[in-house]
Amino acid sequence: MKTQALKLSGVAAAVAALFFGGYEAAQPIHSAHAETPPAVMAPTAPNVLAPAAGPAAMAVLPNFQSIVERCGPAVVNISVEGTVKTAMRGQSPFGNIDPNDPFYEFFRHFGPQMQAPQGGQITHGMGSGFIVSADGIILTNAHVVADASRVTVKLTDKREFSARVVGIDKATDVAVLRIDAHDLPTVALGDPAQTHVGEWVLAIGAPFGFENSVTAGIVSAKSRSLPDEGYVPFIQTDVAINPGNSGGPLLNLRGEVVGINSQIYSRSGGYQGLSFAIPINVAAQVKDQLLAHGKVTRGRLGVAVQDVDQALAESFGLEAAHGALVSRVDSDGPAAKAGLEAGDVIVRINGETVGSSAELPPKIAAVAPGRTVTLGVWRKGRDHDVTVTIGEMKAAQVASEDAGQPERASFGVAVRPLSRDEQRQAEVNGGLLVLDAAGPAARAGIQQGDVILAVNGRTVANAEDLRKLLGSGGRHAALLVQRNDARIFVPIELG
């Protein structure tokens, strides 16, 4: 059976197209910068179908007719045209994807709606969008209009307009369009925080080009973190979403938009029960910034984080497995200046609980650079607050290589110290290169080529340091490991 993977749910125009550098996402812009849509009819709850007579008729199902009648005219179909070069051998027409990657067939933009002749010139694509301001402001997905040379918007009354791309933000997959029109129908925006798992929601869009199709389902989960999508806490639903739905609205039972349909999880390229939408509050923040400044500014903390599982929680003395474990601190970043260290567990931000590492990036990213936040940090068995002045995103890179003589440490690894050049290149003090892994180390996932930097927060410079630190703990130990360009904590079961 083939491995499942994410796919963008709509069709890209033409060519479809760390947070280690620091949690960048849309900075809030106050409403004074946003174009305020005219008053719309107050959303009302849909009619409810009365259950049929008889003891077996238990379910009461919603009737979505009133929502579709009210909101449908504000949903638009988007056609795009662009140019693309024929992919060379070993190159992917869907982006920078390694053809040898086992997920090559799945990690790509949708393509069934696109038509590109051999040799590469003209391509056509299709997606969806919705009007948020009566003077022609439209929200859609960035991947729908990225690299398009022409964008056409079609309304439900059959009018067509040439659209201008005001701006796109690929990090959140949000784009803002403008058409030259007035007195347009609009949708009301809701609050995703008030949307709960199990609630009914519906989508309106153009799956496979079938304009203004309506599908419905429930919210399956909230705050989902997807690969390479660190700044969006996605809403997961079981609403049927297919190519062409991208950029269309996800609506609640009050007729309010709570999300923008963006991706699905599929083996086949079609809907298989897992759909993901960008929360509308995230999209609205991006829209406000693009309209006001033409770009999106994101806050930067300057750390890499990972989830805390039960073994790591025990290693750090936490009562429960929660928070974001700091695995790396950029030497020139805001976190380093505030005194954060690898091994700290961020459990709160401005008093709000951080349940997992996925929750931290969008929260930090939404803070305007230059503002301060108070982080609740668990360090060496104690809880204390750290005040950090948030910076602006910068790329961070860490590199390391190997050389030297191995030493055998007691828990199943052969290691050697990093040379001075290697330490300088990796921006570390000390560190042990893993030349071989077996026993408890291999079972924990330690691999050849990993660099062990610390044990339970204490740096290691040689195999003897490693043996002593592992021998002085309890049943578990947390190793800080650098693997390629990432740093992670690996829990070791010592028996």
The question of whether 410 is a catalytic residue gets the answer no
The question of whether 309 is a catalytic residue gets the answer no
Residue type, 155: L
Residue type, 220: S
pLDDT at 37: 39
Least confident of 108-122, 274-288, 331-345, 481-495: 108-122
Q: Ranked by mean pLDDT, which of 35-44, 108-117, 148-157, 411-420 comes out on top? A: 148-157
Count Cβ atoms within 10 A of the Cβ of residue 203 and give its class: 0-12 exposed, 13-18 middle, 19 or more buried.
buried
CA distance 306 to 18: 13
Q: Which helix (H) or strand (E) holds 150?
A: strand 150-154
pLDDT at 120: 52
Mean pLDDT of 286-314: 90
Residues with Cβ < 8 Å from 479, sequence gap 6 or more?
444, 446, 452, 454, 455, 489, 490, 491, 492
Mean pLDDT of 132-152: 94
pLDDT band at 474 (very low <50, low <70, confident <90, very high): low
Ranges of beta strands (E only) in 321-418 are: 324-329, 345-349, 352-353, 372-379, 382-389, 391-392, 407-409, 413-417
- Among residues 173, 288, 344, 450, which one is catalytic? 173
pLDDT at 372: 94
State yes or no: pLDDT of 363 exceeds 60.
yes
pLDDT at 417: 82
Closest CA to 193 of 258, 243, 149, 137: 258
State yes or no: pLDDT of 38 exceeds 70.
no
**Secondary structure letter of residue 425 according to DSSP:** H
State yes or no: pLDDT of 407 exceeds 50.
no
- Among residues 9, 79, 220, 246, which one is catalytic? 246
Query: Residue holding tokens 């174009």?
Result: 35
Percent of the chain with pLDDT over 90: 40
pLDDT band at 291 (very low <50, low <70, confident <90, very high): very high
pLDDT at 480: 87
CA distance 30 to 66: 32
pLDDT in tens, 432-447: 888 777 777 777 888 8
pLDDT at 266: 77
pLDDT band at 60 (very low <50, low <70, confident <90, very high): confident
pLDDT in tens, 321-350: 999 999 888 888 899 999 999 899 999 999
Count Cβ atoms within 10 A of the Cβ of residue 302 and give its class: 0-12 exposed, 13-18 middle, 19 or more buried.
buried
Is-above-0.85 flag for pTM? no
- Among residues 109, 143, 322, 476, which one is catalytic? 143
pLDDT band at 121 (very low <50, low <70, confident <90, very high): low
Backbone angles phi, psi at 180, to 5 degrees: -85, 85
pLDDT at 495: 57
Average pLDDT, the chain: 77
CA distance 130 to 148: 18
Q: Which residue has the higher pLDDT, 401 or 67?
A: 67
Is the distance from CB of 115 to CB of 126 less than 8 angstroms? no
The question of whether 476 is a catalytic residue gets the answer no
Domains, the chain, ranges and CATH? 1-49+60-295 (2.40.10.120), 299-392 (2.30.42.10), 407-493 (2.30.42.60)
